[in-house]
Amino acid sequence: MIPRTHGRCTTESVDDYLKAILELGGSEEERVTSNALARHLGVRPASVTGMLQKLAAQKPPLVKYEKHHGVRLTANGKMRALEVLRHHRLLERFLHDFLDYSWDEVHEEAERLEHFISERLEDRIAAKLGDPLTDPHGHLIPERSGSLPMREEVLLSKWACGVPAVVSSVSDRDSAALREMTRLGLKPGVAITVETGTRNASLRVRIGDCADSVRLSQALASGISVIADRNGRVPSETGSSMG
């Protein structure tokens, strides 16, 4: 079970940092640089350094931080990050499925609410949804036990040409990109095959059963993750992803 921290003093900003470290560190829990956190959170690097020092100095500490060597979560920090991530993804699914929010609207709303819902409300939302495995963008939802399922994903921009794939998840950080994906029919579960493309140019892809292929920018393709379809193979570049 995820130890609940509602009685502990954790600010929204602290939660945001812990969740960002969890997401950027991935399944291997790699060290995250201050610059990567600054870009992800949209804050100045100096502000990141100050916050990481504060989190490392808490009793018990929430992160392990070494200047110029990056940061990773402690066990306590990871517990809180997983709790907030579970809140966020359950809220996104609830807003999408029951309140008719579009998938390009749910991220910001869930960001506002994720810090405040109680354990009781979290459980009721999960039960109402039927304990979903993913949010509307295909990202895996941490289990109530505290474990986060893993799956092998590859960015579409790095997927091999000609190998059938299925969209597994998409980035939820760009509303305009999500609207473009909606227009093209690019959602989790949709079959896709890269026909042509290079690392630095646009890709031509075939989506679902469409007869005609379409061209995707590298920026859009970099926000789409895929897995091999049942008859395909996973290229060697595959790595574990949080979804």
What's CA 97's distance to the chain center, in Å? 19
What are the boundaries of each domain within the chain? 1-149, 152-241
d(CA 116, CA 108): 14
Q: Do domains 1-149 and 152-241 have the same CATH topology?
A: no
Give residue 68's identity as a one-letter amino acid code. H
Q: Are 240 and 29 contacting, i.e. CB atoms less than 8 angstroms apart?
A: no
Per-residue pLDDT of the chain (243 residues; tens, 9 = 90+): 444 444 344 589 999 999 999 999 987 788 999 999 999 999 999 999 999 999 999 999 999 999 888 999 999 999 999 999 999 999 999 999 999 999 999 999 999 999 999 999 999 999 999 999 999 999 999 999 888 888 889 999 999 999 999 999 999 989 999 999 999 999 999 999 999 876 667 899 999 888 889 999 999 999 999 999 875 444 434 344 454
Topology (CATH level 3) of domain 152-241:
SH3 type barrels. (2.30.30)
Question: Do residues 241 and 137 make contact, with C-beta atoms less than 8 angstroms apart?
Answer: no
Determine which helix (DSSP H) or strand (DSSP E) holds 140, and give its type and residue range.
none
CA dihedral 187, 222, 37, 169 (to 10 degrees): 20
Model confidence, pTM: 0.86
Phi and psi angles of residue 214, each rounded to the nearest 5 degrees, phi first: -130, 160
Please give the distance of CA 181 from its chain centroid, rounded to a whole number: 17
Top CATH class, 1-149? mainly alpha
